[in-house]
Structure 1
């Protein structure tokens, strides 16, 4: 008997544990996928994309994506996060109608499995909620007993005011059953996204089976979307509850028995100390956690020309074991989360980021607070435009953008590159007008032929960013100092220089990024070999009396060894 699994089931389900355990073991028996352990390396780089971010006439988008990746980026990235590719009804894929189908507009499971032969794939498990158009919810409304407890019926009561709200929308919505009865149902995110009830053992087993199905269909990473809200207890905040952590531990235990090389990554866009709690003890919860504080801190550093805040924060960064690491990203399909900067940046600095975003044609999303006020929780803007300064040359803006990403690429962890960052896209304001959704600003669908002609045009922004970006990634993967298991030591040389040493086995690399728009000279003791050089820019470094004399151009990054 797997006592650790049984004990967790007993904690969650009490007297029902015995029956659930038996059914769970039967599911596990059906899915013996891999007993090979996972490993992180410096070669791991993750591209984040929708299945249809690039579209070609008369071709399924997953096919187009596969062709584009193989033709243009195969040497630079080895992992692809395809954002939810299931049939959906809203929220650009995050309101799933059927967890086990590929959206036929994108392609088929055959296309997904074909991609999985060339790249490691990350799938989304959007398992906090499901679409109101799903069979599960429609059957519930019809009175089908199987689905009776899959959702949370909840009368409006005073205690609900403690519930953490990620949106400025009602927590409960009213739905009419087939018999004409009106039910108040729990909806954390929207009227179309119905929360699932994990107090139902049948629902729990159904979700486990879906996760294992994903592993079988080629997922090497499973992203647990909005996982912090999973378990609800009236009278609490209903976020980060112990039961939610135990549920993730169960998912990990189950994968360890069936698909040991599949990594769980949690998506909890919350203050840093809460976010890293999903590493558990380093062996029992997520192997990877989104480094949500990084995007706002990098943005702050370049806008204020101040590396002190990010340096002090990075100095405290650690993971509980070498089986865990950060997912270092700057941009994604969502906006730049502000909650993860709380407690690190001052309120007035966050206000400045909001004002700057609006000045640069971005948008801001707000959430409701228990006292009835609203707070900005997300900057909706393309990351290039977030960093952009109209008073600086385009060359300088490009260097700044690549240096920002060089921070994410060099820091301890695995870098995540959003497709619109790699391709040098800008704010998609026309799209926002069409959908009325702020997040559309960073979700443009690109025409394949137009994209390729821009990537071939040496004068275009896309060409300059794409090729500089790929060059940086190609160099990174050749250096084992960037292995996620390696050490990271932050150095304090200058208030406008973010500096840290990366070290793994017999290689050390000193990373220097000038976050200011002025030249900076450093004279520092040589912490490297006798003849260090900047291998990112292929330039030599002045050295005398074992001191390095380094000139950093505005917004320049150097990688020295």
Structure 2
């Protein structure tokens, strides 16, 4: 009788997976030694765990906040301690995940030109502060993977012909045809740099202080893996792969989303999840929607992808009073399979990206949106096209100012419109993430923008903790109103199984002024009909139109209204949200 062989040990299975990844990335190299080195750096030869496929590492209680380490200041303590205290004080049992934007030493781009990956910026605190935060929250940190600062030791060594670094960067002949390369900036792609062997031209996707790393060199990959291991040791559970779509370069292509890029993401996931099966990878790919979706792979790349199309589509919906484009997009979004989900946000430290709505909003719609945002004090950042022209890349504005009116101008519905936007985000399939400044209703900071000399600073205010606490406690302050209403919605969301990130979602068709969708819990016991009046006019809808099951009792979780008559007509005030549930 044939005897089946014993299953391979986890370590051998992992070794083979890593080798297979590396063979695809580096087909000309002997990859076994590279695989051994990566396993050693991740200490997988000491402790190798077995991740479960298609396991959801989240539920409806997962709510994230996005913040800089120094968004809230107190003169008497390091900013990271102040941030930790603020979150503990104001969001107990509400926020369980915190994304601290790059907290490392840097030279520009508010942290994304990292000059030392293994240090905490001393102006913020130290690793002990990071560890303390990670004990109370799921900690999300940036892996700034595409580039490093021009002041990083690696690039300084490159300029001197020394190691490590002499072969860490992408050199390119300026006479090569690079017209197909997709750029998010208008600065020249190449930077002339003096080296011991003469002038070289190095690749700079995001600007000349951010030098692209050369992942075609496996020594660069090893350095990144070494950094990942440190971050795991320091309590990081969620890795945000910054600008990952750009990391592989190949002449004659657009150098975006290349096959090698996807394979590197798969490799990093394999290494990370065998070190910590509860760790999560999120890809930050501010690109058209279809390309963004590709980073799910077959549930073997990113656990989560940023839902980059949501912010511009939702803002467009609320300032036009028409949800047609948002509804069409939602119908076309595939449900995320178990083990993956969307990372939903509607405001961030950057701006409202316009690339993610390419193919979703036509040029005239985009131009109307841009003009409206400029009318509300927003600024426009640009990118270079291959014909030498420039095109709007993102709108820089605080979300509360972006929603201060409609295309017709400012009106009295700003706060209702702003809360409605967040109610929609909270109810959609995926994990919701609040930008800290949205939670507290921060408006455009023109002074900071002028001081820093770049548009994105308009939405990166630094609050003094005492001043912010006073505003949040003042019932007459819009900060108080926003804060309290959003806290209540967060609490409601956390209590609903139908708002699990992977619960069923279907788009409802109730006209262009009511954006509506249905969520059903994974055990099918709870249904929630989410109705949002996205216009500045009162709207009506018949309960019969949303097909409520008559044998159930239904209640709006937001207003606590109970619906007994299935033939009744509902009236929704401007920007009102209803979460009609059969279970509460």
Residue 436 (structure 1) shift: 1.0
Corresponding residue for residue 531 of structure 2: 512
1:537-548 aligned within 5 A: 537-541=559-563, 543-544=564-565, 546-548=566-568
> Given the alignment, which residue of 184, 202, 205 partners 2:201?
184
Residue 524 (structure 1) shift: 3.4
Corresponding residue for residue 365 of structure 2: 349
Corresponding residue for residue 480 of structure 1: 497
Corresponding residue for residue 158 of structure 1: 176
Residue 256 (structure 1) shift: 2.3
CA distance in 2, matches of 1:458, 1:320: 41
CA distance in 1, matches of 2:35, 2:399: 46
1:2-41 aligned within 5 A: 2-14=15-27, 15-29=29-43, 32=47, 39-41=57-59
Corresponding residue for residue 92 of structure 1: 110
User: 1:281·1:320 contact (CA, 8 Å) conserved in 2?
Assistant: no
User: Unpaired segments of 5 or more residues in structure 2?
Assistant: 1-11
Q: List structure 1 runs of 4+ shifted beyond 4 angstroms.
A: 33-38, 390-394
> Given the alignment, which residue of 318, 342, 345 partners 1:329?
345
Of 433-442 and 314-323, more deviation after overlay is shown by 314-323
User: 2:51·2:274 contact (CA, 8 Å) conserved in 1?
Assistant: no
Corresponding residue for residue 550 of structure 1: 570
1:182-331 aligned within 5 A: 182-282=199-299, 284-331=300-347
1:413 aligns with 2:444: no
CA distance in 2, matches of 1:36, 1:454: 45
Residue 321 (structure 1) shift: 1.5
> Given the alignment, which residue of 384, 404, 412 partners 1:388?
404
CA distance in 2, matches of 1:72, 1:427: 23
User: 1:32·1:259 contact (CA, 8 Å) conserved in 2?
Assistant: no
Corresponding residue for residue 494 of structure 1: 511
> Given the alignment, which residue of 139, 154, 175 partners 2:193?
175
Residue 509 (structure 1) shift: 0.5
CA distance in 1, matches of 2:497, 2:320: 32
Residue 236 (structure 1) shift: 0.9
Deviations 1:72-122 (A, max 9, x none): 112221100000000000000000011111001000110011011110010
Residue 549 (structure 1) shift: 2.2
Residue 320 (structure 1) shift: 4.7
CA distance in 2, matches of 1:463, 1:34: 46
Of 238-247 and 142-151, more deviation after overlay is shown by 142-151
Question: What secondary structure sits across from 1:152 in the alignment?
Answer: coil
Corresponding residue for residue 560 of structure 1: 580
Question: What secondary structure sits across from 2:520 in the alignment?
Answer: strand
TM-score, reference length from structure 1: 0.96
User: 1:34·1:261 contact (CA, 8 Å) conserved in 2?
Assistant: no
**CA RMSD of the aligned region, Å?**
1.5
Corresponding residue for residue 392 of structure 2: 376
Residue 167 (structure 1) shift: 0.4
Corresponding residue for residue 527 of structure 1: 548
The 1:393–1:186 alpha-carbon spacing in structure 2 relative to 1, beyond 3 Å, is closer
User: 1:33·1:216 contact (CA, 8 Å) conserved in 2?
Assistant: no
CA distance in 2, matches of 1:79, 1:164: 33
Residue 35 (structure 1) shift: 5.5
CA distance in 2, matches of 1:538, 1:494: 25
User: 2:154·2:166 contact (CA, 8 Å) conserved in 1?
Assistant: no
User: 2:265·2:301 contact (CA, 8 Å) conserved in 1?
Assistant: yes
CA distance in 1, matches of 2:130, 2:394: 31
Deviations 1:476-535 (A, max 9, x none): 101110001210011101211011111112111010000011111101324245321111
Deviations 1:132-174 (A, max 9, x none): 1111111121211432211111111332111111100111001
Residue 554 (structure 1) shift: 0.6
Residue 18 (structure 1) shift: 2.2
Corresponding residue for residue 95 of structure 2: 77
Residue 393 (structure 1) shift: 5.4
TM-score, reference length from structure 2: 0.93
Report the number of matched residues. Answer: 556
Residue 212 (structure 1) shift: 2.1
